[in-house]
Each structure stands twice: as structure tokens, then as C-alpha cells.
């Protein structure tokens, strides 16, 4: 493990020096060197782990969930689940978030329907099935289905672009989340409605 860490550090330093010689400043050369040294999947998973650490620190210091302001309606997503999962109806869009792995935003005017719908999907995170449905399951289940008027484009966990016409995701209190989603969609004045640490 130590040899791998030393090798990675040497490669990072060499890439950083090369980018500096090519004219990048120190601040720009460092992320460029990281992009050269670590594959996209490794960078994404590392960011996810760091994000989980900050969520744990917020919980320990009693700071509350990230991005949820006073007056916002919080709908927790599986508090026993290790992964950070968010679903926000935010600034005129539905935002579904799973740690640093996924952050999907769909404009509210593309939401055709929202319903309670308990499912037990077996596919991968946010992979699209033959019916154009993507699942963001927690503990092997989803509780809410949102259908769109047109396909929503997004980037899957390890960087593959795709699109889905329907999303199914999990909420601890799905009835409350569905009511909030429907109200926000019909009123047109949308604010954050759901999330967890």
C-alpha cells in the first residue's frame, strides 16, 4: 500500500511540474495533474467518501443536513443507510442526490406525475432499464415514482451519460414527499422540499 501511495505521489508531482512548464499556474496545475494521475471513477469515488466524512462531521457537531435552510421541508432518506442521499425540489427543479456519486436536476415543468409506488429493483444505481426507468434504491427499495414529460439527461455514478423518462427513489416518509412535490409542481414557486444528511 505504501509503495502505491508513493508511486501515486511521484506521478502527481511529475504531472504537476509538466503542467506548470506548459504555462498553468499552481492553482490550475494541481487539478489537471490529479485528472492525469487518477481515473475518473477513482476521483468520483474518492469525492463520495470525502462527502460522507463531511456529512458525519455535520452530524457530530449538530449542524444539520447540508443545503437545507430554515423554513425548508426536510424529508429524510433512510437514516440508517451509509450513503448520503438527497432529494430536493429546489429553485424550480427536482434534485435527486446520492452523495457525490449522483446529482440529478430536472426542471419542475417536466414533471408529468408523482405517486407513491413501493418497488424492489435489482439494477445498478441510476441505470436505465428497458422501460426508460432509473432507480435510486436505498436498502433495495424505492417508494416514489416520478414520470417526466420528456427524458431527463444525467451523468451516472462513474461518469456515463444517459437519460430516463421515469425515476424511482426512496424516502422514509414518501407520502409527505409526494404531497410536497405535487404542491410545488402545481404552485410553480418551488423550494427545497426533501433531503437527508
Beta sheet of 111-119, edge-to-edge order: 111-119, 142-155, 161-169, 133-136
d(CA 34, CA 122): 34
Q: How confident is the model at residue 145 (pLDDT cuts 50, 70, 90)?
A: very high
The C-alpha cell 428497458 sits at: 130
Judged on CB neighbours under 10 Å (0-12, 13-18, 19+), 66 is middle
Q: What is the pLDDT of residues 159-195, one digit of tens each?
A: 789 999 999 998 888 888 888 888 766 654 333 333 3
Domain boundaries, the chain: 2-60, 85-187
Q: What is the pLDDT of residues 49-107, one digit of tens each?
A: 667 666 666 666 766 655 666 655 555 554 544 444 445 545 767 888 887 678 888 88
For a pLDDT cut of 70, what percent of the chain falls above it? 70
Which is it for the CA torsion 22, 24, 30, 33, positive or negative? negative
Predicted local distance difference test score (pLDDT) of residue 166: 95
* pTM of the predicted model over 0.75: no
Amino acid at each position: 500500500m505504501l509503495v502505491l501511495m508513493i508511486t501515486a505521489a511521484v506521478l502527481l508531482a511529475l504531472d504537476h511540474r509538466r503542467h506548470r512548464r506548459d504555462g498553468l499556474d499552481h492553482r490550475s496545475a494541481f487539478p489537471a495533474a490529479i485528472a492525469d494521475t487518477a481515473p475518473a471513477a477513482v476521483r468520483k469515488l474518492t469525492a463520495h467518501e470525502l462527502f460522507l466524512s463531511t456529512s458525519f462531521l455535520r452530524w457530530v457537531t449538530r449542524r444539520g443536513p447540508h443545503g437545507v435552510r430554515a423554513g425548508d421541508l426536510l424529508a429524510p432518506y433512510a437514516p440508517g443507510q451509509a450513503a448520503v442521499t438527497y432529494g430536493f425540489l429546489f429553485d424550480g427543479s427536482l434534485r435527486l442526490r446520492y452523495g457525490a456519486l449522483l446529482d440529478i436536476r430536472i426542471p419542475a415543468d417536466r414533471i408529468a406525475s408523482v405517486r407513491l409506488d413501493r418497488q424492489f429493483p435489482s439494477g445498478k444505481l441510476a441505470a436505465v432499464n428497458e422501460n426508460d426507468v432509473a432507480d435510486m434504491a436505498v436498502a433495495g427499495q424505492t417508494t416514489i415514482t416520478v414520470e417526466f414529460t420528456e427524458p431527463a439527461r444525467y451523468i451516472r455514478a462513474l461518469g456515463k451519460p444517459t437519460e430516463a423518462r421515469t425515476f424511482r427513489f426512496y424516502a422514509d416518509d414518501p407520502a409527505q414527499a409526494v404531497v410536497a412535490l405535487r404542491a410545488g409542481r402545481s404552485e410553480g414557486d418551488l423550494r427545497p422540499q426533501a433531503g437527508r444528511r
